[in-house]
Amino acid sequence: MKRGEKLAEAAKDELQKAVTRVIELMGDDPKRDGLKRTPKRVAEAWEFLTKGYGQEPKQVLNSALFDSDSDDMVIVKDIDFYSMCEHHMLPFFGKVHIAYLPSGKIIGLSKLPRLVDIFARRLQVQERMTTEIAKTVQDLLGARGVGVVIEAQHLCMMMRGVEKQNSYALTSAMMGRFRKDGRTRGEFLDLIRHGRISV
């Protein structure tokens, strides 16, 4: 579904009605004090949590592409994200690590976290989100290689089902040199394993 960054008023009204009905179906009274404004709050929260549907990665990132002679690995690690699992509509959250090998173009470093948010602010699965981020960086930059690793905890595993509070999921997408060259991939994985360099 494509939509503008903001939900239309009619869509927000429909969402509020749906939340009201869910409250009723759960056996509570949507008219009681604590719940009177809940449908409106939930509609506003979901508008924010799904704003990625109204954002186009190329439009956000194209203004921050720069010519460069550098061919050394660029890494932005520990990018915090929050997303919603499309299977249970419960949050999953964690960190994204992105690396690329430039081929004549680099991207403004602050844009990579913005790219993560575009894909995280949709109903998602971690595996697809990992690949979407990697493909977008590859397509926009024509990089010689791209690596993306996501580590996340999923409330659908922690709050329900197996109820394992300390487990997390790790996914990766490797393209170009990161897929073909074990040394390049190993350097990336080694660098994201270590903490920040103190200066």
| Distances from the Cα of 38 to the Cα of 52, 96, 177, angstroms | 23, 32, 50
Active site residue 97: no
Catalytic residue among 16, 97, 124, 126: 126
Catalytic residue among 5, 56, 87, 127: 87
Active site residue 85: yes
Active site residue 88: yes
Taking the C-alpha atoms of residue 63 and residue 161, their distance in angstroms, rounded to an integer, is: 44
Catalytic residue among 44, 55, 153, 156: 156
Q: Residue 143's closest CA among 99, 111, 110, 180?
A: 99
Active site residue 163: no
Q: What is the largest CA-CA distance in the chain?
A: 63
Active site residue 165: no
Active site residue 87: yes
Catalytic residue among 85, 97, 132, 138: 85
Residue with tokens 């010519």: 67
Catalytic residue among 88, 151, 153, 187: 88
Catalytic (active-site) positions: 85-88, 126, 154, 156
